Structure 1
Amino acid sequence: MTTAAIVLAGGTSQRFGSDKLDAPLAGVPLLQHAVRGLPDDWLLIIVGPHRALPRAALFVREDPPGGGPGAGLVAGARAARDAGASMIATMPGDAPYGSAAAQELAATLIDSLAGIGAVIGVDATGVDQPLQLAARGPALRMLAQRSGTHNLRARSLLDDLDAATGVVRLRLPAALTADVDVPEDLATLSRDRVLIRPDDQT
């Protein structure tokens, strides 16, 4: 089984005021925190502009570029399908523990019954996280074949999965869904130590 990690990194960072994925957290760019710790045998797909990373990655763009996370999910799923991946795990590029969440979602999907096509992450308050999911089989094909991606809401993709394939939901610890929207979020993550330290992969 080939697994692809899809990182959504095509946002404009309007609320942050600058390119937040390049912003340092514990001395390391935020995007590098998100992908740190992914298994070496996973294909890494970045949906967004090319950036320097410590490992090989396939860069693709959503249609249209900057078209939002829904379009990014579809673009990533298509790239994974075309690369021969049989399962995907998605994550936002501004979530420092994105790789840990992706691995939990993928492991849960692998352990699920054959009829389950997707596992959707749920935050500590019980809210679905449409950018944190794992999918395989018909669910992966459905995402890859989705048309009309301009201004596509990511949450509508969850509705499609719920209606057409077996789906389970996985409650994730708060740290695994923490993300960065504004500069103050970086200070909060550092203060609460809710981050993947550069020298700690455990």
Structure 2
Amino acid sequence: MTHDAVVLAGGRGQRIGGDKPAVVVAGRRLLDHALDAVHDARAVVVVGPEGVLGAGAATPGIGVTQEDPPYGGPVAGIAAGLAWLDEHVPLDADRPVLLLACDVPWARRLVPRLLDAWSARTDGTEGVHVEADGRAQWLVGVYSRAALRRAVRGVVGEPGGLRDAPVRRLVGHLALATVDDPDGLSLDVDTWDDVERTARRLEEDSAP
């Protein structure tokens, strides 16, 4: 199934000392793990600061944009990513958008499940996201691009606008389906303990 992708890489990463997309887990940057997960997308845009792809990065065909205001939170990042898609990629009602935070190294295993669930959705479903232990992982999900655009316009009209708006405010009112994650593949990497734990698991998984 054809889809587009917005990779969110604009957080400050304060708990991990900054520049989270560049943090190396099991020999690869978090951003590289995320780009692996979206490699089948028709169009990919990374939302983050200038230089987020890295010097000399071999990433042809990948767009880069920054949220407004910078470091304005994931909802501002989603709005910026959608704006980039609207400018560069014609809107297709049947082509969804994969939203992915850059700090979920196992996302490559979850994306096929999400796309399958989107293909199998019932009428009226506007998005499919991962749920782990009853916790919604909004930023590991596939959504209707048109529904996201409407939701962004709604948040812009609320007090405070996009800056630091909770993701629940953006997508929580949409008609959503969920994909269970009993193995905890959607857990994000926020601390150095997370880095070490995830690296061990990734290395064990790739061992012969």
Gaps of 5+ in 1: none
Structure 2 residue corresponding to 1:133, chosen from 130, 141, 145: 141
Aligned with residue 186 of structure 2, among 177, 186, 198: 177
TM-score, length of structure 2 as denominator length: 0.81
1:18 aligns with 2:27: no
Give distance in 1, aligned partners of 2:199 and 2:97.
29
Separation of aligned partners in 1, 2:189 and 2:199: 12
Stretch moving more, 59-68 or 71-80: 71-80
CA distance in 2, matches of 1:63, 1:135: 22
1:78 maps to 2:83: yes
Alignment gaps of 5+ in structure 2:
none
- Partner residue of 2:63? 58
The alignment's C-alpha RMSD in Å is 2.6
Runs ≥4 residues deviating over 6 A: none
1:45 aligned residue: 45
Identity %: 29
The equivalent position to 2:199 in structure 1, one of 155, 169, 190, is: 190
Aligned to 1:94: 103
CA distance in 2, matches of 1:131, 1:109: 15
CA contact (8 A) 1:63 1:75 kept: yes
User: Which deviates more from structure 2 when the two are superposed, residues 72-81 or residues 114-123?
Assistant: 72-81
Matched residues, number: 194
